């Protein structure tokens, strides 16, 4: 009778709680709201919503925009000014640039990977795919997803990023780029930082992304990146070297438009560090118990899951315009499948 009373009373409640916890840990996390694009390209334009999206949290600047701005400012105004830019191809300057970029990648990406995938401090809470990558997976180099991601990131990604940076600084010092400063062009400087570079980076990424999804290129180059169906932070720059060359080529826009050295660092750091966030596999990061930082990158996770949707991001509604948008809902998925079958 004592055992029976246990199952009828608090014991039964405890068992149900354990079952609920186990079920939650084996369910993919989905945000409560559907994916939406920024209000910048809505019709009619709503100035209030645009300003809120730019300056309020979470938005364009907070939390991650300011993060990239701070890192780029430290690099531009405190680290590299101590070097002699005139000797741009000196071993000292090249070594510092390479060391700086390896440090940034290993520190920030390594930190994120350690907390989310090694220590698993938040387990799979807010994880889009509740499963963690398996060890001993034959589709990856070294039979390990993280090891292959590390290989392509460190052997190809960081060196190509660094070479673009060196070439851009050399061009700047040889007057091949038109240089501005903040005092003479404050409005342009701010707009380029806050609005124009993020928009351009997304547009450039979308264009090259559609190109490398063309089957002949995909099966030779982009397939490496898409091995990561369940991506982690180190998946962000796990690419074929040709894809790295295309991806970081966005910085070449500064051969056309006026620029400050800060913008070169800002554009490249945003392009290099940012993929750790978009490929983290988590929608939110828990900082202290229930204090969280928004990292809503469902858009790109869905691209890795389904391959043929969400080639861009959420600033410009390019995927919506071209019929490849998946907002995370079942109806959106079905619409995509119907469109594909009709075509």
DSSP string covering 138-150, please? TTSGGG-HHHHHH
Is residue 217's pLDDT more than 60? Answer: yes
Q: Which residue has the higher pLDDT, 13 or 340?
A: 340
The tens digit of pLDDT for each residue in 77-86 reads: 988 775 555 5
Question: For residue 23, what pLDDT band results from cuts at 50, 70 and 90?
Answer: very low
**What is the C-alpha separation between 131 and 243, in angstroms, rounded?**
28
Is residue 135's pLDDT more than 80? Answer: yes
Domain parsing of the chain, residue ranges: 45-279
Residue 96, token pair as written in the block: 């510092």
The tens digit of pLDDT for each residue in 268-299 reads: 999 999 999 999 999 999 988 767 888 778 99
Residue 337, pLDDT score: 73
End-to-end CA distance of the chain: 66
Give the three-state DSSP class for 309.
coil
Residue 248, token pair as written in the block: 């970081």
**Could you tell me the CA-to-CA distances from 77 to 178, 188, 238, 318 in Å, in that order?**
19, 19, 30, 35
* Cα radius of gyration rounded to whole Å, the chain: 23
Mean pLDDT taken over the chain: 89
The tens digit of pLDDT for each residue in 164-211 reads: 999 999 898 888 999 999 999 999 999 999 999 999 999 999 999 999
Max avg pLDDT among 92-101, 169-178, 218-227, 321-330: 218-227
The stretches of the chain forming alpha helices (DSSP H) are 2-8, 10-24, 47-55, 64-74, 91-104, 110-113, 145-152, 158-173, 186-191, 197-212, 215-218, 241-248, 261-273, 275-278, 298-306, 318-321, 330-342
> pTM to 2 decimals?
0.90
Cis omega (within 30 of 0) for bond into 282: no
| Weakest-pLDDT range from 11-25, 146-160, 188-202 | 11-25
Got the DSSP string for 71-90?
A: HHHHIIIIIGGGS-GGGTTS
Residue 22, pLDDT score: 43
**Could you tell me the CA-to-CA distances from 117 to 226, 233, 289 in Å, in that order?**
19, 9, 18
């Amino acid at each position: 009778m004592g055992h029976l009373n246990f199952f009828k009373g608090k014991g039964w409640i405890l068992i149900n709680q354990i079952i609920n916890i186990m079920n939650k840990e084996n369910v993919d996390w989905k945000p409560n709201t559907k994916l939406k694009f920024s209000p910048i390209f809505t019709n009619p334009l709503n100035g209030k919503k645009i300003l809120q999206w730019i300056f309020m949290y979470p938005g364009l600047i907070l939390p991650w925009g300011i993060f990239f701005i701070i890192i780029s400012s430290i690099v531009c105004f405190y680290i590299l000014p101590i070097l002699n830019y005139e000797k741009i191809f000196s071993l000292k300057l090249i070594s510092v640039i390479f060391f700086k970029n390896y440090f940034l990648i290993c520190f920030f990406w390594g930190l994120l990977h350690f907390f989310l995938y090694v220590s698993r401090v938040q387990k799979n809470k807010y994880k889009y795919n509740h499963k963690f990558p398996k060890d001993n997976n034959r589709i990856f180099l070294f039979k390990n997803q993280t090891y292959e991601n590390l290989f392509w990131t460190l052997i190809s990604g960081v060196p190509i990023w660094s070479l673009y940076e060196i070439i851009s600084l050399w061009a700047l010092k040889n007057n091949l780029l038109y240089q501005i400063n903040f005092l003479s062009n404050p409005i342009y400087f701010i707009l380029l930082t806050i609005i124009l570079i993020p928009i351009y980076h997304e547009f450039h990424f979308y264009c090259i992304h559609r190109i490398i999804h063309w089957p002949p290129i995909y099966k030779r180059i982009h397939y490496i990146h898409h091995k990561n169906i369940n991506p982690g932070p180190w998946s962000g720059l796990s690419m074929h070297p040709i894809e790295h060359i295309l991806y970081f080529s966005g910085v070449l826009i500064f051969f056309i438009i006026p620029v400050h050295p800060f913008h070169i660092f800002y554009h490249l750091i945003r392009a290099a560090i940012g993929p750790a966030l978009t490929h983290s596999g988590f929608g939110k990061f828990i900082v202290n118990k229930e204090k969280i930082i928004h990292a809503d990158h469902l858009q790109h996770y869905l691209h890795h899951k389904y391959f043929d949707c969400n080639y861009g991001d959420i600033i410009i509604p390019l995927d919506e315009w071209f019929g490849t948008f998946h907002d995370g809902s079942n109806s959106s998925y079905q619409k995509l499948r119907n469109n594909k079958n009709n075509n």
